[in-house]
Structure 1
Amino acid sequence: MKMKTVRVLLAFLLLLSASPAHAENSNDTKEAQDLLQKGLTIYEIDREIERLNEQDKKISDQIQTTGIDMVKQDKNVQASRKHAGRVLRAYYSGDRDNIWLLLFTVRSFTDALHTFEYLNMIVQNDNRALKTFTASYTQLQKLKTQLEASRIELQKTKDNYLKQRVRLVDLQAELDKQLAVSVQGKVVEAQIKILNDEWKQKGLPLFRQFFEKLSIAFVDLPELFTKDAGKNLVFEGTKGAVFTLTDQNLNSFLQSKNELFNQLAFRFTEGKVLVSGKKDDADIQIKGNFLLIPGQDMNEVRFTVDQLVFNGFQLPDTTIASLQAEFGLGFFPKKSAKVEVTEVVNQEGKLVIRLKF
């Protein structure tokens, strides 16, 4: 209902601009649209700042916990080092060689067994001491690496926070200035709040729902390689093949995975993927690309998002980044189909994936 109010406002302004007597109102229409867009951007950047604050606290707590663990582990290393040092000194000085001479002093087979068990117990204890020291030292180094990584991540979070904070302050000052001199200022200010509430209550949950279901469905995409006896595969000798995925096949596949995709459609174009959907009075658009992401063990085909649009309003890069960080939109052909992907090309009406056996 609130979103309809925003649309009514914009439609009214468009109607005014259509009349020559009110030609100047076309500028008012664009101004209102721009102000609403700016208000939504500010809302999303503010939400990103809140997320960065939470991430900052989480990483800080993690650093503190890791620091405490390092102190404990350092004590374990010192204790195990002393024990391991005594063992190594004993072997180096020849003390451990002498204990084997006990075997030559036994007087019966039973004594020999007992002596051998005793000597074996000493050797096993020595091995445990050395292994304990090695494990303790390795764990300490691992904790140090984790701590350093956490500190680097914390610094990146703080830098990003400051960057977004400056961006927010500048945008807010710009918006306040424009609203102050606009004849529609009060009306648009009220509509900005309505739009932001609509995004918070309907838009964001809908995008999160779509992204979540896509992340689950994409994992199973490699099953299309062998579907219908591999009719979508063109073999290149015995070492590889080319898989062609049409947008129609992709949409059918997604709809078979979840009925939510009955309201969402992918369309492949030259070098770009367009996604559009509608649920109730919420329209969403996504622009992106399927890319090849090389990996150490296996390559990934990942859908990366370049643009998100909700009811005609574009979301900022912070929204895209947070959604992509939360939901992985990719698949690993080698993990399920046992083939490696070597090339991914977006073409008109289809996605071409080159595979290597």
Structure 2
Amino acid sequence: MYLSAAGPDTGASTAAPSIPDNEETRRLLEQTLSSAEIEREIVRITAEQQTLARKAAGLKEQAAAQQTAIADKQERAGAVVRAYYMGERDGLLTAFLSAKSISRMLALFDYYEIIMGRDKETLSAYEAQYKELKATLTAAERSSAELAELKTALEEQQKRVLALNEQIEGGIRASTDPERMGLLLEEFSKYWENIGIHEVRTYFKALSSAMKHLPQFVQNRDGVLVRKGMTYNLALSQEDLNEFLVSQNKLFKDFGFAFKDNEITASGKSGGLSLSLTGHYTIQDEPVNGLIFHVDSIVFNGLQLPDTTRQELEEEFDLGFYPAKIVSFLRATEVSSMDGVLHVKLSLSF
């Protein structure tokens, strides 16, 4: 895999720090990675929390204004309903039926239509504003609930990073050369923040872009998609997938996918940089049917990336496969992988 080894120009070295083949050092480096990524997650959650708080406050103000505006229409609508319930409109109908001339009947009919029309407008206006108010209140409640969830998530991540930092400090003090260990961890942190995370994101972005064109490749590749009665069997070999990826982006020239027993692995290396990931597919029916890729593990330069990074990358970059893009009425019902082949069972859905 070609990795550019170039990130934002912050003065940090673009060369990957040399990682000693020592279990304790690797553990400290992974903890440092986790700490840096959790800190980034805390920044993200805090920003999202502030945005959501402003949205919730705005919705509450909007709801209050709508409640004030609706009060008058509510009173008018109530008066209309009471008029019909108490029979106050019956007199108009009686007068219309007892009219003794055509001209009188037409005049009463026009008058009756005007009143009925205004009544309808009053009720319709109230109904529309009531629905709008209800939608605003629901959105405000939802925002408040999301805000509470974010607050809990933020508190949990803050506890995690504090505990990790304590472990890292303890590990540095316990090492044979605390000063050298501290410098190594600092150097690696800068390298990850300025180079590493950008390289990983570059790969995921390229993979997500390539996957958008996989349905067309499957459709045009002989033997990959076979019809059997009312179902289709898709059998994509790892060789076909790797050939397809290279055709989409030279980034994947030294990067290989492998289909194992219900597990998908990918790995690549270039110079001092290496990346490998493990994941699996599941079937999704809503909002659209498709195969959704879940990232189970990412290893960068031999170090396991934290769960926050995996979750963020999985949410941001769609690595899924959507059968409806092959033929609109196809939907995936089963998925498995073994012996170098990804198997997908597809059924017709009209």
Report the Cα offset of residue 320 of structure 1: 1.0
Q: 2:147 aligns with which of 151, 154, 162?
A: 154
In 2: Cα distance, 1:115 partner to 1:231 partner: 78
Percent of pairs identical after alignment?
A: 28
Q: Could you tell me which residue of structure 2 aligns to residue 272 of structure 1?
A: 263
Greater fraction helix: 1
Letter in 2 for 1:247: Q
In 2: Cα distance, 1:129 partner to 1:105 partner: 28
Q: Could you tell me which residue of structure 2 aligns to residue 300 of structure 1?
A: 290
**DSSP 3-state at the match of 2:78:** helix
Q: Could you tell me which residue of structure 1 aligns to residue 9 of structure 2?
A: none
**DSSP 3-state at the match of 1:226:** helix
**DSSP 3-state at the match of 1:277:** strand
Q: 1:247 aligns with which of 235, 238, 242?
A: 238
Q: Could you tell me which residue of structure 1 aligns to residue 333 of structure 2?
A: 342
Map of 1:32-43 to 2, 5 A cutoff? Answer: 32-43=25-36
Report the Cα offset of residue 293 of structure 1: 2.4
Map of 1:284-299 to 2, 5 A cutoff? Answer: 284-295=275-286, 298-299=288-289
**DSSP 3-state at the match of 1:137:** helix
1:191 matches 2:184: yes
What do residues 185-233 of structure 1 show as CA deviations (whole Å, max 9, x unaligned)? 21121121221111112221222223233334434433345324x6322
**DSSP 3-state at the match of 1:330:** coil
Map of 1:40-189 to 2, 5 A cutoff? Answer: 40-100=33-93, 101-102=95-96, 105=99, 112=106, 119-189=112-182
Q: Is the 8 A contact 2:258 2:340 kept in 1?
A: yes
In 2: Cα distance, 1:257 partner to 1:107 partner: 84
- TM-score scaled by length of structure 2: 0.84
Report the Cα offset of residue 176 of structure 1: 0.9
Q: Is the 8 A contact 1:103 1:116 kept in 2?
A: no
Q: 1:320 aligns with which of 310, 333, 342?
A: 310
Q: Is the 8 A contact 1:233 1:241 kept in 2?
A: yes
In 2: Cα distance, 1:104 partner to 1:251 partner: 87
What do residues 133-159 of structure 1 show as CA deviations (whole Å, max 9, x unaligned)? 222222222222222222222222222
In 1: Cα distance, 2:17 partner to 2:24 partner: 14
Q: Is the 8 A contact 1:276 1:285 kept in 2?
A: yes
Report the Cα offset of residue 174 of structure 1: 1.4
Report the Cα offset of residue 281 of structure 1: 4.3
Q: 1:120 to 1:213 in 2, by over 3 A?
A: farther
Report the Cα offset of residue 71 of structure 1: 0.9
Map of 1:185-224 to 2, 5 A cutoff? Answer: 185-224=178-217
**DSSP 3-state at the match of 2:232:** strand
- TM-score scaled by length of structure 1: 0.82
Report the Cα offset of residue 118 of structure 1: 5.3
Q: Is the 8 A contact 1:245 1:352 kept in 2?
A: yes
Q: Is the 8 A contact 1:2 1:195 kept in 2?
A: no
Q: Is the 8 A contact 2:38 2:161 kept in 1?
A: yes
Report the Cα offset of residue 235 of structure 1: 2.2
Q: Could you tell me which residue of structure 2 aligns to residue 353 of structure 1?
A: 344
Q: Is the 8 A contact 2:32 2:185 kept in 1?
A: yes
Q: Is the 8 A contact 1:290 1:301 kept in 2?
A: yes
Report the Cα offset of residue 38 of structure 1: 1.9
Report the Cα offset of residue 315 of structure 1: 0.9
In 2: Cα distance, 1:106 partner to 1:179 partner: 105
Report the Cα offset of residue 80 of structure 1: 2.7
**DSSP 3-state at the match of 1:287:** strand
Unaligned stretches of 5+ residues in structure 2: 1-11
Q: 1:80 to 1:227 in 2, by over 3 A?
A: farther
In 1: Cα distance, 2:251 partner to 2:119 partner: 62
In 1: Cα distance, 2:326 partner to 2:123 partner: 41
Q: 1:294 to 1:192 in 2, by over 3 A?
A: same
What do residues 156-201 of structure 1 show as CA deviations (whole Å, max 9, x unaligned)? 2222222222221111111112211312221121121221111112
Structure with greater contact order relative to length (CA < 8 Å, sep ≥ 6):
2
Q: Could you tell me which residue of structure 2 aligns to residue 18 of structure 1?
A: none
Q: 1:330 aligns with which of 320, 323, 342?
A: 320
Report the Cα offset of residue 5 of structure 1: 6.1
Q: 1:84 to 1:6 in 2, by over 3 A?
A: same
In 2: Cα distance, 1:353 partner to 1:121 partner: 64
What do residues 282-335 of structure 1 show as CA deviations (whole Å, max 9, x unaligned)? 32211111111232x543310100111111111110111122222333243346
**DSSP 3-state at the match of 1:274:** strand
1:235 matches 2:227: yes
Q: 1:172 to 1:122 in 2, by over 3 A?
A: same
Unaligned stretches of 5+ residues in structure 1: 15-28
